[in-house]
Amino acid sequence: MPVSAKICGLSTPDTVDAAIRHGAAYLGFVFFPKSPRDIAPERAGGFGSPAHVGRVGVFVDPEEDLLAYAVRAARLSAVQLHGAETPARVAALRQRLGVPVWKAVAVRTRADLDAGRAYRGAADRLLYDAKPPPGADLPGGLGLRFDWSLLDGFDHPLPWLLSGGLDAASVGDAVGISGARLLDISSGVERAPGVKDVDKIATFLQATARL
């Protein structure tokens, strides 16, 4: 099974184009005001993309009105939740929005992985990301890496993807150690927080395609 990738935190036409041109499976748009990658749903909706490339909206404990609006305005094919959303809320949103829902699981220890089991039947996919330090303003996109060997042999309750500390140099190790087949990258293809680099996007996706 080939390895594919989601380029997250896109906000400009040239970086969206680079992600599509070099083979990203998903485009990620962040709808969270505290993030340097925050974008208005209608602006994200203005970026064209082919039908085979997914469009994922990233939210943190969002209001339902924002979710519903963003799904329409940004033409989202999936919603990714990074807050304290309970399994019950995830299941309700999944039914109400009519698109797949991905739930982020913050990981530092093997025990943290078990938190994902509660979302079986509620979410469509889990995203394993590094647990941020106490007091951090952002739940992800910090360039932090957890111990990928924690995923070796783990019985995943749902389809999943890997995030945190990825870049073109580390992607081979990430896949080899964790067994991930879908990767989510944001800060690893930036030249500054929230500023994507078209060359880094190309290099990462080319490295991914060789795995």
Confidence band of 137 (pLDDT split at 50, 70, 90): low
**Residue 140 pLDDT > 80, yes or no?**
no
pLDDT the model gives residue 113? 95
pLDDT in tens, 170-198: 999 999 999 999 999 999 999 999 999 99
pLDDT the model gives residue 14? 98
pLDDT the model gives residue 61? 94
pLDDT the model gives residue 143? 63
Rg of the chain (C-alpha set): 16
Full set of structural domains in the chain with CATH: 4-209 (3.20.20.70)
pLDDT in tens, 74-122: 999 999 999 999 999 999 999 999 999 999 999 999 999 999 999 999 9
**What residues are annotated to the active site?**
8, 129
> Is the separation of the CB atoms in 8 and 78 below 8 Å?
no
Q: Which two tokens stand for residue 121?
A: 């039947």
pLDDT in tens, 7-48: 999 999 999 999 999 999 999 999 999 999 999 999 999 999
Residue 92 φ/ψ, nearest 5 degrees: -65, -40
**Residue 134 pLDDT > 70, yes or no?**
no
pLDDT the model gives residue 132? 75
**Residue 136 pLDDT > 60, yes or no?**
no
Nearest to 64 by CA among 95, 34, 42: 95
Confidence band of 141 (pLDDT split at 50, 70, 90): low
pLDDT the model gives residue 103? 98
Residue 58 φ/ψ, nearest 5 degrees: -105, 130
- Give CA–CA dist 47/27, Å, rounded: 10
Nearest to 64 by CA among 81, 45, 47: 81
Tell me which H or E stretch contains 18: helix 13-21
DSSP 147: -
Burial 156-183 (b: 16+ CB within 10 A, else e): ebbebbbbbbbbbebbeebbebbebebb
